Chains A and B, each alone.
Chain A
Amino acid sequence: MKFIDIIRTCLRNLTKRKIRTLLTVSGVLIGTSAVIVMLSLRVGMNIQITKMLSEWADLTLIHVYNWGRWDADDDIVPPDLDDSIVKSFMSMDNVMSATPFYTNFQSGFQIAVYTADGWVLMYTPFIGVYMDELENFGFRLTEGRFKQEGDPPTTILMGPFAGDYLQSYIYENEYLWSEWGYDEETDTWDILSMPIDDYFKEELRIIPLTMGEWWQADLSVIGSKTAPNLEYDEELNLVGILEASPTDWEARNGIFIDISYMAGLIKAYNELNPDNRYEEFNGVYNNVRVRVDDMNNVPAVEAEIKAMGFQTSSFNEMRENMMQQIGTIQMLLAAVAAVSLLVATMNITNTMIMAIIERTKEIGIMKVLGCDIGKIRLMFLGEAALIGFLGGAAGVLFSYGLSFIINNFFGQALMGMFMHSGGDEKISISIIPPYLVLLGLAGATIIGMLAGLYPAQRSIKISALSAIAHE
């Protein structure tokens, strides 16, 4: 008996009892779509949470701290967070870059800019980093270039907002607001349309703020038309403006400066302000940031760093916590879905047993006429599998419908259960990727076959003799 003939027989038998087939298939449809929709919610919510978090924060970033031994029971005393440790972070798998991120020294020095009004101060915080690592770290430029070999240690890059301040100082008196790219209708600023030709030509000087209070330094500098004549000042070499990163607030305002140069600045400041000293560098950092190539590799890298004794934090950790919370709720729902699939499976078994009882004589006749018992078993297995497959296919289609309804009418409400989200925009919390479609089809077919195992086994035990017994 050929395979095609077995399929034909299955189809014929299924279409012969339409209502029963329809009901059994519907059972599988409900079970399959329940499971698919549950899984699609998991996929969708994962994507939504990732999306929302990545709007707030960088999910590939790990903050590394050294707060010493966390508690007395800790066996591991972490080593100092120095250059060699940062280098060892860089050599870990999947780590793109690592750099110290020193932001404490904010107001000791300021940048003075020469404008039409004379010298002004920028009041922007300094961030001490490895300047050579900025590009690897994932920063992008809007203007200029990154630090290159041969650049002096006074080389700096500005965050986008710092760049804007600089522009505004330079052009304040020369341009009207409207010409800056201010759009009255939308009340927005188009920063990119501002004139920037002279950015890098401007004279920028770094000057110390005596007494540790910036406003006192102002007095001697602001408005002066001549270069500040101070005990310590140095001309800075601005080479680039960084692109605005929506997730890194510190970097927006900051002026990036090499951490070793910053160490020198702190030393200089402390000499000028003996009563108001900053803590000087001794080659040990408090905060190091590690950039991982992919969000999914963050946990492994984080674990590796933790194993060295450091403390870490990352938004990825937060994301995983959220997913875990959602996971618990989904487990409950998945259990309901699984039960409905189980009921559907028993329904198939029941239908097949009925079919076999009804067709006892037919099976007997087929046996007498020489149909291999293996083929008879295959026929019933095929029939059950076909019910499963049809239910699975219908279930996939139905799932797409359910998914559409959930996304259009319930996405906002459901997502709000887990995190704050604003606006009326449609949120796709149910996403059915192609592998879920395949899983649905294959799963339902396999379940159909499993459900058909017992009935099929029963079919081959039917006696051929019963068929030719006189009625």
Chain B
Amino acid sequence: MSAMITVKNLIKIYKVGSEKVVALNDVSFSIEEGEICCILGTSGSGKSTLLNMLAGLEKPTRGEILIDNQRIEKMNEKRITRFRQKNVGFVFQSYNLLHGITALENVAMPLIFRGVKKKKRDKIAYLMLAMVGLSKRVKHKPTQMSGGQQQRVGIARAFAARPKIVFADEPTGNLDSRTTIEVMELMVTMSRKNKRTLVLVTHDRDIASYADRIIQLKDGEIISDIRKDSKNDEKIITYAVDSHISD
């Protein structure tokens, strides 16, 4: 497998007044194509900053970000937007669906930007919604849906344009535990089925357990990078259960 994402010596420093806050301090890692990777960390650990930079929404202070062998930190806004359009899907904590339009239109949105004709994109959007179990809700607007349903629309949207990478930022942050399980399983299944790279950002260890690999951040630095294989599979699960009990 080749590296889909490579991060080298990434540094991000915010200036707050006259003080400098180091959000990321020399972070390096790479994520393989098709990998489901979780970036785990508490609030303030720098995980959201990292995600924003991977998605090209923020520029690093120093360091390199290679996605699909392209230096995205060097791209201008126009190019990075085009890059996201072609390569990246998003799942947000607060779903970020457009309220004025139907579920179908929301899912079709990334396809509109790609210039796909209405008939074709509606068909794709319908199939995506059917895949997430919402075939009967295509004409509903987000406001007429539960949080879980909205997030499933969000997932359908993220995968609709067949992006190489899907970024998910606290995707279950607003959901109850039962729905969380549904949504996580759906997301992981979709990634595996479509062989997409999934980068998950969360503070929740339970969520992290769905990933093949967990990169844990603390104060802007990587403190652990655990790849789940057959050997330590059980160990991680135990670890996750432990933390669940202790919560």
Residues of A within 8 A of B (CB): 1-2, 4-5, 12-13, 16, 361-362, 365-375, 464-465, 467-468, 470-471
Contact = CB atoms under 8 A, between A and B. Distances in A.
B81 A2 contact: no
Nearest to B96: A365
Given A4-B118, A366-B109, 15 more contacts: A2-B115, A12-B101, A368-B57, A368-B84, A370-B81, A370-B83, A370-B161, A372-B78, A372-B81, A373-B78, A374-B78, A375-B113, A468-B90, A468-B169, A470-B93
25 contacts: A1-B114, A1-B115, A2-B117, A361-B96, A365-B98, A368-B55, A368-B96, A369-B84, A369-B90, A369-B110, A370-B82, A370-B83, A370-B161, A371-B85, A371-B113, A372-B81, A372-B113, A373-B78, A374-B78, A375-B113, A464-B81, A465-B52, A467-B96, A468-B90, A470-B93
Interface of B: 52, 55, 57-58, 77-78, 81-86, 88, 90, 92-94, 96, 98, 100-101, 109-110, 112-115, 117-118, 157, 161, 169-170, 173
A449 to B, nearest CB: 22
A372 B55 contact: no
A368 B117 contact: no
A373 B117 contact: no
For the complex of A and B, 5 pairs with smallest distance between CB atoms: A370-B85, A370-B84, A371-B113, A465-B57, A365-B96
A153 to B, nearest CB: 86
Contacts of B161: 370
User: Does more than half of chain A's interface fall in helix, strand or loop, or is it mixed?
Assistant: helix
Contacts of A464: 57, 81
B58 A465 contact: yes
B170 A470 contact: yes
A372 B117 contact: no
Contacts of A374: 78
A7 to B, nearest CB: 12
Contact of A368 (B82, B90, B173): B90
A13 B98 CA distance: 12
A370 B101 contact: no
Contacts of B117: 2
Given A362-B98, A465-B52, A468-B90, A369 B57 contact: no
Residue among A2, A362, A369, A375 with most chain B CB within 10 A: A369
A328 to B, nearest CB: 51
Contact of A5 (B90, B112, B169, B170): B112
A16 to B, nearest CB: 5
A4 B112 CA distance: 10
Contacts of A467: 96
* Residue among B57, B84, B85, B94 with max Cβ neighbours from chain A (10 Å): B57
Contacts of A465: 52, 57-58
B81 A373 contact: yes
Contacts of B93: 470
Given A368-B84, A464-B57, A373 B96 contact: no
A287 to B, nearest CB: 76
A438 to B, nearest CB: 31
B109 A369 contact: yes
A77 B117 CA distance: 79
Nearest to B161: A370
B111 to A, nearest CB: 10
A281 to B, nearest CB: 86
Given A12-B101, A362-B98, A372 B109 contact: no
A467 B77 CA distance: 16
